[in-house]
Structure 1
Amino acid sequence: MNIAFFLLPKEEVACLNINSTIRQALEKMEYHRYTAIPVLDDKGRYAETITEGDLLWTIKNKEGLTFETSHRFSIATIVKDRIIHSVHINAEMEDLLSLIATQNFVPVVDDQSVFIGIVRRSDIIEYCSKQMFSKRRENVT
């Protein structure tokens, strides 16, 4: 099976630019109800993912950073708890599954590392569930 089958295209994914502020990250994540958000560079390449936890710990530990001052701090100052790895669009499903087991979504990139979308863990689980239960129904009848 091809990874593209599960791809939620870039146009449907809210992202941040690498030059965004912490305030912009907080507001975009709140608006879209995201717990994590991909960050892209100026050429549209996947750079990293920022999580709610990353933001929380940065606000707690960075001197002078409050919600009121968050517009003065770049997301580049955020210390990431863990790296969210991307996968190439032509990667094997096994590569995707090994990442999706520990990430809520996997960013998908092309040959130039340009971000083209994400694969959500919930979509993989839903697909697998349908496959499992349809086979069970076939065996019962």
Structure 2
Amino acid sequence: MNIAFFLTPKNEVVCESCEATMRQVMEKMEHHGYTAIPLIDKSGKYVGTLTEGDLLWKLKNTPDLNFKNTECVKVKEIDRRVSHKSVSINSDIENLINLAINQNFVPVVDDNGIFIGIIKRSDIINYCYNEMKK
């Protein structure tokens, strides 16, 4: 099975630029109800996933940082505690599932590392469930 079957394309994914501010990403995550968001660089490459935990640790470990001045902190300045791996669109289903075990979504990149979308763990589980019911 081709993993593209599960792909949610980039134009349907909420992601953020590494140049965005901490405040912008917090407001975007709150608005959409997400706990993690893919980060994309200027050339469109996937560079990592920022989580609520990353934001909380930044607040905890930065003296004098409060909500108001989070607009001065760039997302690229925030350490990410967990490395969320991406998968190539040409990868096999086994590799995808291996990553999805520990990630709610798996970012998908093309041969040049350009972000093209995500595959949600819930979509994989729903597919398996529906196949079992047959």
Query: Same fold by TM (over 0.5)?
Result: yes
SS at match of 1:5: helix
List alignment gaps of at least 5 residues for structure 1: 135-141
Q: Is 1:100 aligned to 2:97, yes or no?
A: no
The number of residue pairs the alignment matches comes to 134
- Which whole-Å CA distance do the structure 2 matches of 1:107 and 1:31 have between them? 21
Residue 131 of structure 1: aligned partner = 131
Residue 17 of structure 2: aligned partner = 17
Q: Is 1:34 aligned to 2:38, yes or no?
A: no
- Which whole-Å CA distance do the structure 2 matches of 1:106 and 1:130 have between them? 21
Return the letter of the residue paired with 1:100: A
Residue 110 of structure 1: aligned partner = 110
Calculate the TM-score normalised by the size of structure 2: 0.97
Residue 79 of structure 2: aligned partner = 79
Structure with larger Rg: 1
Residue 56 of structure 2: aligned partner = 56
Return the letter of the residue paired with 1:49: T
Moved over 4 A (4+): none
SS at match of 1:69: helix
Q: Deviations over 1:2-56 (max 9, x none)?
A: 1100000000001110111100110110111111000000011101100011111
Displacement of 1:130 after TM fit? 0.6
List alignment gaps of at least 5 residues for structure 2: none
Residue 90 of structure 2: aligned partner = 90
Displacement of 1:64 after TM fit? 2.1
Q: Is 1:8 aligned to 2:15, yes or no?
A: no
- Which whole-Å CA distance do the structure 2 matches of 1:92 and 1:30 have between them? 33
Q: Percent identity?
A: 51
Over aligned residues, Cα RMSD in angstroms? 0.7
